Structure 1
């Protein structure tokens, strides 16, 4: 079974290095496709052996819409050569539970009938006292589950990923299958490294402060306040054992997806949870060490 992974990046080097290391270890660097938003030779150095495609960054008008349309078209093309195509942001890693699957390909192969899989998502958050070195999931283990980041992440045929969900023909909206497999997770790394977070916040605020129409909205314009609010809220959440927190999140998010008639999109409901948890030690070896 052939599986590709696709992402797009602008300057998020810390996250990209982990995206590359994690997915290259599972799929091979030759099956990774990185869209660089503007010329940046550093990306090829971070991702040796991957295909790096550079697209212009001279016009940010309608940024989100044009980006999504381009990635959907590229993803559709990859389906001509791959059985599954994974697509995430550069600060998102597709994980599997080692107690359930032997690897990423095995996790996808188990979804024999699903046209699209949605992963249970969580924000991985750095904490004071975390180890300063080592594999990512050995030194960063505190997290909270998120409906917002429980996204459509992999497809076995051409579909459009829109608003974190799957866009379908309007006539299929009510009956399109929604599959969130047990033991498949999307780790969002935005808050996993304080220095990388500071750089990412600065980039977002600069982009959103432009004069073009259709730029990202308030969440990017006030990215610093948004990040501070998230971290403050996270610190106040009580800690639940993984088994209880994971079960509650999965049971809430794996059923009754939102079916948005306006966009013909099937997606996870954007639920939030009042607790946080700790990633089990068995996940510690999933992402290779990044220098």
Structure 2
């Protein structure tokens, strides 16, 4: 089975290095495609063997809409050459439960009857007292997490389809019948909060973009990125800590069913529910990330 992964990045070097190391180990570096938002030779240095596509960085009007249209076009082209195209942000890793699959490829092989796969998402979080990160596998160093409806996203397709607002846009006549598939044991790890030092630097870039004078810029998650991160950490610390088996079961039972089917935009996506507990990754995940 031929699987590739696609992302877009601007200077988020730490997250990109993790994205490359993780997906390169699972799929092969030659099957990774990175859209560079502005010329940046450092991306090729971080990601040897990957394909880097450079686009201009000179107009931020309608940033999210134009970014989605660009990636949807590249995604549709890659589907002609691959059985599956994985698509995430650079700070997102698609990982798997080793008790259910022996590789990421096997996870897709076992779920190939579906046109689109959605992963159960979680925020991986650096906690007070965590040691500084090294180049070792990330999941052996950061284990605290909270499952998230917002980050339980459509992450791969085996045919051309428009990814939008963390879901997919379908033909209006298929809105009620389009299959929603969240395979058990397939996860999206969101790394935004896994490295506090890097988060501070990335937030400065996000606030610079979102506070410009142009239409269609990202919302308060970017324009007030520092305050948004502070609210997240406060909320996370207050959540009840429960064991992985119970937390994963509860999150899967809640988010794998009854997707949002939005009539106005014909989008099928996970419900963006907030879950009131946190947990820790089991040691068996330690080789990933």
Q: How many residues align?
A: 287
Give deviations 1:54-96, integer Å, cap 9, x for gaps. Answer: 0111001100000001100100000110000000000000000
TM-score normalised to structure 2 length: 0.98
SS in 2 for 1:200: helix
Match of 2:76 in 1: 76
Match of 1:54 in 2: 54
Match of 2:125 in 1: 125
How do 1:217-228 and structure 2 match up within 5 A? 217-228=219-230
1:39 aligns with 2:65: no
* CA displacement at 1:129 relative to structure 2: 2.4
Match of 1:206 in 2: 208
* CA displacement at 1:220 relative to structure 2: 1.0
Unpaired runs of at least 5, structure 1: none
* CA displacement at 1:128 relative to structure 2: 2.1
1:229 aligns with 2:215: no
SS in 1 for 2:89: coil
* CA displacement at 1:255 relative to structure 2: 0.3
Distance 1:91 1:243 in 2: 25
* CA displacement at 1:131 relative to structure 2: 3.3
Match of 1:88 in 2: 88
Match of 2:2 in 1: 2
How do 1:1-291 and structure 2 match up within 5 A? 1-132=1-132, 133=134, 134-287=136-289
SS in 2 for 1:180: coil
Distance 1:260 1:272 in 2: 19
* CA displacement at 1:130 relative to structure 2: 2.1
Unpaired runs of at least 5, structure 2: none
